Structure 1
Amino acid sequence: MTSYSSFKDEQYQDYILQGVSRTFALTIPQLPEALSRVIGNAYLLCRIADTIEDDNALTPEQTRRLSNVFIEVVCGNIAAEEFVEELFPLLSDHTIPAEHELIKNTPAIIRVTHSFNASQRVALERCIRIMGRGMADYQDTETLAGLKDLSALNQYCYYVAGVVGEMLTELFCDYSEKINRNKPALMELAVSFGQGLQMTNILKDIWDDRRRGACWLPQDIFLKEGFDLSQLRPGSSDERFQAGLGVLLGVARQHLQNALAYTCMIPPEEKGVRRFCLWALGMAILTLNKINQHRDFNEARQVKITRGSVKATILTTSLFANYNLILNMLFNIMSRNLPDTSLIELSKRL
């Protein structure tokens, strides 16, 4: 493996981000430099926590222990080198090479983490603490039968994405006094923003997750349609399953509507922050559209958006980033074919 001892920690952070996430490698550099540094670091911390949860070679007991160790590393109570020494030899081929490398170089990432101001570190530590413990809890209950109900899905999405929305809002508000003026309203929408993005990933990755023995779909939504998730097979043409999928597409759409409302509350002069939000939002809507058009898909690559669509999203949202009215019109156009599920019932469960 290539040695990066000659690289400064921040250079390594920029480098490894390209390897573990093409999407965030695009969006994070749009942020002002002061924000891109801390949010790039935050993403990598979350990716390390996610790697612990995702590697099937780890037992539930190992996952929980290593998650707790990593929390203490982020908080500065345990040396990152001890964490690497314990986790790295346990990683399997399920973890991609870039993530192997990220884990091995955790000390470089943590040195950057510990260079931030107190309020930034508090936001990062809180996020990793909630995420690490929450994901470990859910790993204990992984099953192909799915989660119990929509409420359980909401809770799972909070642990892996909603809390990230809260963290990002804290970091945005720490960076800008003008953004901070809208903090109460932004915090109300932050969890929904994260859930919209996470639900998009869950729906896209249904079959990849099932291959590793997990299903994050809620049983109650599908049972209402007369379908048992334990009977789900790739490429299912069962109309009952596809109807349940439609309900979740509609719920995800409503969360992304909240994401747009969140973005529109960011002051127009903060174009970088707006682009960061809009690019993620636009790509999520395009992905939901592809899933909706191909509800019988059986591999994530079949609903992956094209590079051309990504470029068009980037161009369009960047061009109109400051214009809330146009952004709302674009959202309505892009989401017009998606099911329009009301959040009234969902809000009762949150």
Structure 2
Amino acid sequence: MAVSGEAFCRTQLPRVSRTFALNIPLLPEPLDLAVTVAYLLCRIADTLEDEAPGALQQGLLDELAVLVELGPDWEARARAFARGAELALREEAPVAEAELLAGTPTVLETLASLPSWVHPHVARCVRTMTGGMKYIQRRYGGGGRVEGLPDLQATFMYCYYVAGVVGEMLTGLFIASSPRVAARQDALAPRALAFGRALQLTNILKDVREDLDRGSCWLPRDRMAAHGLEPGTLALPGHRARAVALMGELVRVARGELEVALEYALALPAGEPGLRLFCLYPLFFAVETLNTLEGNPAVFDPEPVKMGRESVLRVMLLTQERVASDEALRALYAQCSRMSSPEPVEVMT
């Protein structure tokens, strides 16, 4: 029996993202499917950047930007794109990512089935993301890899292209789907970039060793140099104290972005709890992650540093209980941000 496009997208989501598999189902219909499809298309671009070294040279990012416009002959072009992407993938690429690339025509088919108000926001996001990836690679890359960005401004630019633009897209989708959210546009729009940027910067810090092992680094070179480091020496055991100090400095930058992201989430109406929780889950996951990274030399070890299942469930419960109260959420954020490591937080009864 053939699998529908919607079924494929909903099944594929948890295979390529643990976090978004938790919060996207909280969104009302059809917004949940729209954001699922948008996330998968962004993940396809991300996979091309990470797992297909020849994607830039072969024009695959350009083609993806064209495909999301759903122009003439997009079905045939999507099939050709999937074949080309398969050939460009590294052999060690994760199976789920390879399956998602192969399913690009199905993801686009699902996008085409969604209401017309979805399309321009998703298309603009993917166009900006793929164009930004190309720009970063051409300006700062070598051999398909970026080994450090010159300064924090460049790191923020990269964060915009791969995540800040997602914050803009989500804001557009939220406003288009709900008159109550549309009334908050002036409060949401200025904070949308920080929401996406904060989550991406946290991921960059969390994945620093994994990226280094793949030959890439997204940290600012000037801040590394201030600590006597460069990408090639960042993970050396003899430089661990310097690396931990650098991490602490960048964690403080990420916390500043998260404070703005919290105000973004609170600008969403309390009468839209699904939208609030969609934002609050990853925001508080990021707070917990930064707590784990700060002062922790293990972040530079080969074994990745991750949140435990108990911490994930605790964050979900605590935010669910407080979702309608700005005061309670601010208090929870302040308490969690003060922790140097995950600790129990009182559960409301």
TM-score, normalised by the number of residues in structure 1: 0.90
2:34 alignment counterpart:
38
Give the aligned residue type for 2:102.
K
1:21 is displaced (CA, Å) by 1.0
Give the aligned residue type for 1:133.
G
149-158 or 77-86, which moves further after superposition? 77-86
1:8 is displaced (CA, Å) by 1.3
1:242 is displaced (CA, Å) by 2.1
2:49 alignment counterpart:
53
1:172 is displaced (CA, Å) by 0.4
Contact 1:237–1:296 at 8 Å: present in 2 too?
no
| SS of alignment partner, residue 25 of structure 1 | helix
1:139 is displaced (CA, Å) by 2.7
1:15 is displaced (CA, Å) by 0.7
User: Alpha carbons of 1:162 and 1:300: their partners in 2 closer, same or farther (altered >3 Å)?
Assistant: farther
| SS of alignment partner, residue 125 of structure 1 | helix
Contact 1:196–1:252 at 8 Å: present in 2 too?
yes
Give the aligned residue type for 2:51.
D
| SS of alignment partner, residue 297 of structure 1 | helix
252-261 or 80-89, which moves further after superposition? 80-89
CA distance in 2, matches of 1:71, 1:100: 19
Contact 1:193–1:258 at 8 Å: present in 2 too?
yes
Give the aligned residue type for 1:10.
E
2:136 alignment counterpart:
138
User: Alpha carbons of 1:208 and 1:302: their partners in 2 closer, same or farther (altered >3 Å)?
Assistant: closer
Give the aligned residue type for 1:71.
A
Percent identity of the aligned residues?
Answer: 38
| SS of alignment partner, residue 146 of structure 1 | strand
1:127 alignment counterpart:
125
1:294 alignment counterpart:
296
CA distance in 2, matches of 1:236, 1:320: 45
1:223 is displaced (CA, Å) by 2.5
Q: Does 1:257 align with 2:236?
A: no
Contact 1:245–1:295 at 8 Å: present in 2 too?
no
Q: Does 1:191 align with 2:193?
A: yes
1:211 is displaced (CA, Å) by 1.0
1:112 is displaced (CA, Å) by 1.2
Contact 2:47–2:97 at 8 Å: present in 1 too?
yes
| SS of alignment partner, residue 304 of structure 1 | coil
Give the aligned residue type for 2:253.
V
Match of 1:16 among 8, 12, 17: 12
CA distance in 1, matches of 2:275, 2:22: 13
2:98 alignment counterpart:
100
2:242 alignment counterpart:
240
For 1:321-336, what aligned pairs fall within 5 Å after superposition? 321-336=323-338
1:232 is displaced (CA, Å) by 1.8
Give the aligned residue type for 2:80.
E
Contact 2:5–2:106 at 8 Å: present in 1 too?
yes
CA distance in 2, matches of 1:131, 1:121: 15
Q: Size of the alignment, in residue pairs? A: 332
User: Alpha carbons of 1:66 and 1:144: their partners in 2 closer, same or farther (altered >3 Å)?
Assistant: closer
User: Alpha carbons of 1:69 and 1:112: their partners in 2 closer, same or farther (altered >3 Å)?
Assistant: same
CA distance in 1, matches of 2:130, 2:186: 26
1:12 is displaced (CA, Å) by 1.0
Give the aligned residue type for 2:16.
V
Match of 1:149 among 144, 148, 151: 151
Q: Does 1:75 align with 2:107?
A: no
The superposition leaves residues 33-89 of structure 1 with CA deviations (integer Å, 9 ceiling, x where unpaired) of: 221010011000101111111115426412xx0000111111123431121122122
1:303 is displaced (CA, Å) by 1.9
295-304 or 238-247, which moves further after superposition? 295-304
| SS of alignment partner, residue 217 of structure 1 | strand
157-166 or 128-137, which moves further after superposition? 128-137
For 1:268-347, what aligned pairs fall within 5 Å after superposition? 268-299=270-301, 301-337=303-339
CA distance in 2, matches of 1:254, 1:306: 24
